[in-house]
Amino acid sequence: MPAHRAAQQAADSAHIYQVKATRRGTGDQVTLAYRIVGEAGHGSFGVVLKAELLQGGGTDVVAIKRVKQDERSKNRELQIMSAVAHPHIVKLQAFWFEASLSGEDAVETWLHLVFELIPKTLHHLSRSYSRRNEYVPELLVKLWVYQLLRALSYLHSIGVCHRDIKPHNLMCDPASGRLVLIDFGSAKVLGEANVSYTCSRFYRAPELVLGASLYADSIDLWSSGCVLAELLAGKTFFVGQDGVGQLVEIIKVLGTPTRREVLAMQPTYVEHDFAIASPEALDLLASILVYTPSFRPRAIEAMCHPFFDELRLGNTRSSSANGTSGSGRQGRRWGLVMPDSQAVTVPPFDFSTHELSICPDLNPILVPSHARAALLAGPDGIDLDRFKPIDLAPLRLSLD
């Protein structure tokens, strides 16, 4: 849909639109009634509008992403979003196509994707701390980055690389602590040559900067490391401008400088302001931000790093429902409270059978003992003592 029409709709919040859409998952054709209440975002792809779905006598606030569709090919984002299902990946609810006339009287087709709406971007939340000359509390950094890694662990297990991890593409709900990964416009099933000019510059892995066309999902880990560094430092970590391009040309000829050589050229180059970062945070960061792609940890391996132990242990203990444990002592259950006294309600350990089949040897670390009962009572009824991993190979995506 043309931008001028989108703007017109945004201004006309009283008007109710009705469209025939396809429900994600079931494929059922449904009639959606909605009204536009504002703009949630925009970019080269098009625009994301905030809308109210009118259904069942009530309203449901959603995000509607409008993307121009190339008639010669299928939309990769739609294919991927129709296939994925994970608590930390934004949920696609429905979609529809709409034709309209362009300024030259040519017919254009626009894809509309209806997503759940999450209130804030990670960029917005982190900058709110910077504006107050504060650092993001490290416990909050742990919670956010852990959920990002969990989303990537699932994505990579089905063969999908996001290719544009950055704070603008991470949405957070401050009330619950939940984080979700959005914007799969650059996502791709890897396996053949790809364009290297992908991922936003400040979060682009070195192999992409050097023009590699054959790369792995480890580029997402590099970007995640950049996000972690940004949250710890309170500012964008690698801010490359024209000078970086010149340095890249030198590296192509002379090779990568050693740490000693970098310090000889600029003694303060590697000094960064991590005033509140713990040794565990810096250790995780150092393990991710490495040149060799194969040396970076897998997302699920990074989740097991001691940096996240506080999430697994919790920082509060409240009385259990029955009041006492089997030993006669008062029972306790896990809880996590942020520095602002806000209790985290998003469940960090509600792993699926799929997730626990990615690397079963790590399950004893991933699932703390207090979370086992919830897993057993969950939808998959997982008993870790008797757990048998499933074969994930048939679940890898293969797009047309």
Query: Across the beta sheet with 170-173, what order do the strands follow?
Result: 120-121, 170-173, 178-181
Under DSSP, the state recorded for 220 is: H
Residue type, 247: L
| Residues 180, 296, 304, 232, CA torsion sign | negative
Tokens representing residue 30 in the block: 């449904």
Tokens representing residue 167 in the block: 């704070």
Coil, strand, or helix at residue 53? strand
Q: What string of DSSP letters covers 235-248?
A: S-S----HHHHHHH
Helices (H) and strands (E) in the chain, counts: 14, 13
β-bridge partners, 111: 67, 97
Residue found by looking up tokens 């709709």 in the block: 9
Tokens representing residue 305 in the block: 């790093």
Residue found by looking up tokens 């982190």 in the block: 126
- From the list 54, 90, 236, the residue with the least C-alpha distance to 173 is 90
Torsions phi, psi of 165, nearest 5?
Answer: -75, 125
d(CA 244, CA 263): 17
**What radius of gyration do the chain's Cα atoms show?**
23
End-to-end CA, the chain: 25
Query: For residue 285, what are the CA distances in angstroms to 31, 274, 278?
Result: 48, 11, 11
Check 164, 183, 217, 220 and give the catalytic one: 164
164 is catalytic: yes
Angle in degrees, 0-180, between the axes of helices 279-288 and 218-233, rounded to the nearest 10: 150
Residue found by looking up tokens 């399950």 in the block: 363
Residue found by looking up tokens 């500012």 in the block: 235
Tokens representing residue 67 in the block: 């993307």
Could you tell me the maximum CA-CA distance found in the chain, to the nearest angstrom? 79
Active-site residues, by number, are 164
